[in-house]
Amino acid sequence: MRLLYHVLIIALLTASFCQAQTDPMTLAKTIFARESFSSLDKHITGEYNGHPNGTDLPDNVTVDFLLLGQDEKTAVINLTITDSVGQAFDAYLHFVKDDVWKVTAFRALAMTGFIDQVKGMLESMTEQQVDSIIVQSQHDPTGNAIFKSREEYEFELGNSRLTLASDQEIINHFEKHKEVFNRIKNDVLVELESKEIDSERTTKVGEVHQVALNRIYISNIFTSGYNLGKCIGFLIGGILDNSVGLLFAKDKKDLPKMNPHRIIMTREIGNGWYLYKTT
């Protein structure tokens, strides 16, 4: 009887250990550990072929993990990869539940090269160069100058930096200017009460607040369409469909569902506010 008891205990512990090894968070940490994962092939599907993983990362980086969302069939985990000088890069592992949890896609904000070039160019300009471009823009019949005033220069620089910032840096920016964000959001909610919105099309709102939005490096505000539904989006920037911003949802059920092909991540900030990225 005692032998049978010990066998049952071992079986239960083994089953619990196996289950723990395959939940999304533990699986993400195992895949991005320094040691190779011998059972990786059993936990990949779709377009994810097993790379990148922990063996692909440089020795001087650390990796942090955050569960962004999970239900019975899907999960999304945020990986923050930070180098030795504190530069952070955020990526997102999308999981699906089959017989076991499997990674189906690795995502990050895409097509950022041009934005990085613009940021570098703006950062390298001297005060004299900025003033010179402003003067030249006043005599440019095409109107294609990258900026036409000191305010536009500050916006372009701040916006490019914020677009490329880590998720935590964007959240810190929101917290710093939370009073402004909430004031504009409240005005937009009032505007929406008397505005007819086409649920199939993205609609710009809050345009009277553009000056204030520029000061906090937000490109524009929009709602509806297949991107965000009933949520209010505060777009920071991006290229084409690869965008990053903040959104407000009056009801959490209106939050768009994360998926590898459109809304690649949403991260709750609090009081109806979220960080989001698309592809």
DSSP 122-183: HHH--HHHHHHHHHHHTT-TT---S-SSHHHHHHHHHHHHHHHS-HHHHHHHHHHTHHHHHH
The third-level CATH classification (topology) of the domain covering 2-107 is: Nuclear Transport Factor 2; Chain: A, (3.10.450)
Between the ranges 8-12, 21-25, 199-203, 215-219, where is the mean pLDDT highest? 215-219
Q: Which of 270, 212, 209, 219 is nearest to 244 (CA)?
A: 219
Q: For the segment 93-143, what is each residue's pLDDT rounded down to a tens digit?
A: 999 999 999 999 999 999 999 999 999 999 999 999 999 999 998 887 777
> Phi then psi for 166, rounded to 5 degrees?
-70, 165
Task: Assign 58 to helix, strand or coil.
Answer: coil
- What's the mean pLDDT in 205-215? 96
Q: CB-based burial of residue 144 (10 Å sphere; 0-12 exposed, 13-18 middle, 19+ buried)?
A: exposed
pLDDT of the residue at 18: 44
Delimit the CATH 3.10.450 region(s) of the chain: 2-107
- What's the mean pLDDT in 199-225? 91
Residue 69 and residue 13 in contact, taking contact as beta carbons nearer than 8 Å: no
pLDDT of the residue at 8: 40
pLDDT higher than threshold 90 for residue 179: yes
pLDDT of the residue at 203: 87
Which pTM value belongs to this model?
0.90
Q: Which residue has the tokens 């005033």?
A: 149
Q: For the segment 49-71, what is each residue's pLDDT rounded down to a tens digit?
A: 999 999 999 999 999 999 999 99
Question: How many CA atoms, within 13 angstroms, populate the side-chain half-sphere of residue 226?
Answer: 3
